[in-house]
Amino acid sequence: MAYQQKLFVSAEPASSGSMSATALSGGGFSDGNECGVKGFHHFALPTDASSPPSPDTPQVGPQLALGAYGYQQMSDSPGHFTIQLLFAPRGKQSLVLSRTLGTDGVAVEIEGPHGLVGGAHGLPVTWNHPTTANRDNAMRIDAVGGGSAEVSLPVQALCPGYQGASVMKGLLAPIDSRNTITGQPAYTLTVSVSDPGIGELRRTVRSAVSGDLLSASNLVPLDKPITRP
């Protein structure tokens, strides 16, 4: 789970996003045509993808979790969200992913009480570990060390009327006076990828989960008290 957020922002205008799907300057396409839709995901995710994770359920096969994420806006450029993706094979077998994380890239959705707040698909990814691909242009992720990558969501991918700083605040879980998380964030952040390497490892380890999709969200398990550092 991600509890290390960065927020560098001052007053800003509302998002310049569109109510239609548009190409983004850094790569990928916005989901503007889905603004306000509840439960929208670019990839057909299972229903439990929008449920808080169980902290005690043993998991076999490839895993994806969100690391640090935050929003940044410099005075001379539009703002953007940066999201760290953490991959793990959860076993002795390696997880081998394409450098681009499948042919469709990364999909990101932010949903609030009134539906989709912003999102995009086909987003490019920057790898932190491993840093280089093998001869097949694939990234090999071992059990020791895992894998780490980053994806950027520009503010133009937000629906009209939303501000990056306000959305970022909504992505944080509420806390009490002792800094203990007391509920779920107002906005749900979901990141998903579809890569053949995910399905291949699942078949190899005989995982109960099938298919090439892997997703993670900012929802937190509340079975036990969680204190944000």
| Dist CA 171 CA 115 (whole Å) | 14
What does the angle CA 61 – CA 63 – CA 68 come to, to the nearest 5 degrees? 165
| pLDDT computed for residue 132 by the predictor | 85
| pLDDT computed for residue 1 by the predictor | 42
Angstrom CA distances, 79 to 9, 33, 58, 126, 161, stand at 8, 21, 38, 18, 15
Angstrom CA distances, 147 to 53, 79, 107, stand at 21, 26, 18
Instruction: Look at residue 168 and give its three-state secondary structure.
Output: helix
| Dist CA 164 CA 162 (whole Å) | 7
| pLDDT computed for residue 137 by the predictor | 84
**pLDDT tens, position by position, 71-97:** 998 877 789 999 999 999 988 899 999
What does the angle CA 14 – CA 151 – CA 85 come to, to the nearest 5 degrees? 125
**pLDDT tens, position by position, 167-185:** 999 999 999 999 899 999 9
Q: Please tell me the pTM assigned to this model.
A: 0.89
Contact between 178 and 52 (Cβ < 8 Å): no
